[in-house]
């Protein structure tokens, strides 16, 4: 009898495991489903058990076939519903308000703004994240560059600039549409303590560059004839939380500086624009393209210009 009970228990556990595994694939069938994983549909963060309001909606009305093998039918209809009754549609909470995303496509919106469509206590708020310049860049006076940011529930923004690390701020533009980009003419000054700040006109939401960037005219201090294409070793190395990468280019070039993981996955693009001849430096703050802190480990940084490529390794220790 004991042996039969043991076999029955094993079979039951196996069936439960199959159901949990069978349904875990649904995480990738809604936009940004990997952020809240099973909590999108279940009260239990590990999955299984009672479903929350969004999970119940999906189970009852938006599966290709009933049961654990059904695929989620994400689209405009499901995106337009407010399953958890918090005043925001499922699409707004998952950064796809019109339900246009499909599995395999680039994820919409910004992951930092994703909330849980099945939890009424998790809902979108006004927020802004400055993307660039975000620290370590080097610009020349009167150069044109884009100030970029991501925003949530923000219609218009104010953009400001400081050249003394936040001691005083000057207005770049008083109000512009929060479309994520503004073409900025760099002021005719020299400073290594520059930041930009983007704020919501209608609330307290704002963000500024994570670290300072530089405005300098390298032709005033560098003899171009002595310059070569070279990529220096980052310092400090190992580092935590930030490190400086110095490099030199002999002539005006399109320059790209990227960070990769040890497995070759792109982590962050630090630079991708024309640079004049001279010595430059960029600070990496140990964050990826989405502003998230990366794990400890070996990272590869690659400098590429019109005619040359050079690569070095660095170590992040926490």
What length is written for the chain? Answer: 318
318 pLDDT band, cuts 50/70/90, is confident
Query: What is the per-residue pLDDT for 275?
Result: 85
pLDDT in tens, 181-228: 999 999 988 899 999 999 998 788 999 999 999 998 854 444 444 678
pLDDT in tens, 104-129: 899 999 999 999 999 999 999 999 99
Say what the pTM is.
0.63
DSSP 16: H
Q: List, in sequence order, every residue forming a beta bridge with 189; answer none if it has no partner.
A: none
Beta carbons of 55 and 45 less than 8 angstroms apart: no
Query: What is the per-residue pLDDT for 223?
Result: 47
For the chain, list the domains and their CATH numbers. Answer: 2-113 (no CATH), 127-215 (2.60.40), 218-316 (2.60.40.1930)
Strand, helix or coil at 137? coil
Closest C-alpha among 275, 300, 177 to residue 217: 275
Beta carbons of 281 and 244 less than 8 angstroms apart: yes
Closest C-alpha among 215, 234, 212, 217 to residue 277: 217
Mean of the pLDDT values across residues 4-9?
47
């Amino acid at each position: 009898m004991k042996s039969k009970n043991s076999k029955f228990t094993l079979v039951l556990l196996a069936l439960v495991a199959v159901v949990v595994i069978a349904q875990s694939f649904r995480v990738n069938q809604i936009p940004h489903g990997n952020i809240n994983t099973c909590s999108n549909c279940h009260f239990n963060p590990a999955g299984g058990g009672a479903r929350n309001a969004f999970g119940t909606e999906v189970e009852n009305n938006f599966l290709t076939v009933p049961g654990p093998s059904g695929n989620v039918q994400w689209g405009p209809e499901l995106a337009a519903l407010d399953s958890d009754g918090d005043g925001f549609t499922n699409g707004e909470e998952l950064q796809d308000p019109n339900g246009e995303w499909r599995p395999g496509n680039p994820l919409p919106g910004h992951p930092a703004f994703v909330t849980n469509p099945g939890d009424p206590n998790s809902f979108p708020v006004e927020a802004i994240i400055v993307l660039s310049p975000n620290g370590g860049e080097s610009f020349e006076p009167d150069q044109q560059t884009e100030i970029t940011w991501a925003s949530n529930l923000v219609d218009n923004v104010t953009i400001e600039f400081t050249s003394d690390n936040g001691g005083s701020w000057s207005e770049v533009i008083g109000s512009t549409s929060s479309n994520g980009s503004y073409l900025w003419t760099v002021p005719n000054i020299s400073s290594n303590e520059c930041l930009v700040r983007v704020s919501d006109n209608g609330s307290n939401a704002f963000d500024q560059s994570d670290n300072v960037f530089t405005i300098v005219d390298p032709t005033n201090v560098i003899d171009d004839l002595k310059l070569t294409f070279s990529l220096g070793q980052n310092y400090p190395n190992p580092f935590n939380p930030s490190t400086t990468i110095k490099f030199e280019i002999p002539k005006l070039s399109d320059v790209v500086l990227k960070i990769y993981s040890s497995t070759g996955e792109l982590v962050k693009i630090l630079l991708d624009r024309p640079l004049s001849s001279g010595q430059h430096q960029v600070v990496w703050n140990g964050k990826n393209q989405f502003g998230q802190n990366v794990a400890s480990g070996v990272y590869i940084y690659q400098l590429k210009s019109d005619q040359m490529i050079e690569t070095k390794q660095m170590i992040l220790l926490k």
